[in-house]
């Protein structure tokens, strides 16, 4: 089936550092979504990618749709304490009406 | 727009009790979803709906029921609560089944 593997599972960084995380699959995806979930809250959509090779930014966040369509990357520049949370990647299942989610990358930022 | 709203925010149930988790969206989305998230884990799909009057099972439907009589509302029913249903429940909606927008969640404890 369509599975998404996220890495790393967790990251502990110092404020000001840049962060990179990725999401890979053995299947091709036509859309990649990146969500952030803060403690005690629901996931919030950060970035949506629709074309292979696409690079999209949202403030200090930049995400890329891999050329093979089997991976995506999320970078956070100059991290701050409020970046703490779990970052999920997601992509639509073949049926189109449901999403496959990765297991998430837990980010901790030390001030 | 309020987006996706969920009530209640918190609930404690005794084993065997029943309850309904409410979910409403004001974005006129056709697609709606119920997920559960256990501590430290990712999102698991319980049920989903592609439009009023249409519902379908997700990955973990046992012990739950849903109905979709209007576009706006998608309640989740627990008939005989069990400790294994202790979790955080998220409702989400989507226009075309891709980008999903989540509610703030309901934290349920069954003792």
- Give the model confidence (pLDDT) of B10-38 as tens digits: 999 999 999 999 999 999 999 999 999 99
Q: What is the pLDDT of residues B68-86, one digit of tens each?
A: 999 999 999 999 999 999 9
Do A94 and A39 touch, CB atoms closer than 8 A?
no
Residue A36's CB is within 10 A of a number of other CB atoms, namely 21
A-chain residues near B41 (CB < 8 A): 103
Closest residue, chain A, to B47 (C-alpha): A98
Q: Distances in Å between the alpha carbon of A82 and those of A37, A38, A78, A99, B41?
A: 11, 9, 12, 27, 21
Sign, CA torsion B91/B95/B100/B101: negative
Chain A residues with CB-CB distance to B under 8 A?
31, 33, 35, 40-45, 48, 88, 90, 92, 96-99, 101-104
pLDDT tens per residue across all 111 residues of chain A: 578 999 999 999 999 999 999 999 999 999 999 999 999 999 999 999 999 999 999 999 999 999 999 999 999 999 999 999 999 999 998 777 899 999 999 999 999
Residue of A41, A85, A98 to mutate for B, most B C-beta atoms under 10 A: A98
CA distance A36 to A78: 17
Q: Which of A4, A19, A6 is nearest to A84 (CA)?
A: A19
CB A87 within 8 A of CB A44: no
Q: By the 8 A CB rule, do B47 and B66 touch?
A: yes
């Amino acid at each position: 089936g369509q599975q998404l593997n996220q890495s790393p599972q967790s990251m502990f960084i110092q404020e000001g550092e840049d962060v990179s995380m990725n999401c890979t699959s053995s299947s091709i995806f036509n859309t990649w979504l990146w969500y952030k979930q803060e403690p005690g809250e629901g996931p919030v959509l950060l970035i949506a990618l629709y074309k292979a090779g696409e690079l999209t930014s949202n403030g200090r966040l930049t995400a890329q749709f891999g050329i093979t369509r089997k991976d995506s990357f999320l970078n956070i520049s100059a991290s701050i304490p409020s970046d703490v949370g779990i970052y999920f990647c997601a992509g639509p299942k073949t049926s189109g009406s449901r999403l496959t989610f990765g297991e998430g990358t837990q980010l901790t930022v030390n001030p | 727009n309020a987006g996706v709203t969920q009530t209640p925010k918190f609930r404690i149930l005794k084993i065997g009790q029943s309850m309904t988790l409410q979910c409403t969206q004001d974005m006129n989305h056709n697609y709606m979803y119920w997920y559960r998230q256990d501590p430290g884990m990712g999102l698991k799909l319980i049920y989903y709906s592609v439009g009023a009057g249409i519902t379908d099972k997700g990955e973990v439907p046992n012990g739950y029921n849903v109905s979709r009589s209007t576009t706006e509302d998608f309640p989740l029913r627990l008939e005989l609560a069990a400790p294994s249903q202790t979790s955080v429940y998220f409702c989400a909606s989507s226009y075309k089944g891709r980008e999903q927008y989540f509610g703030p969640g309901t934290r349920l404890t069954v003792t």
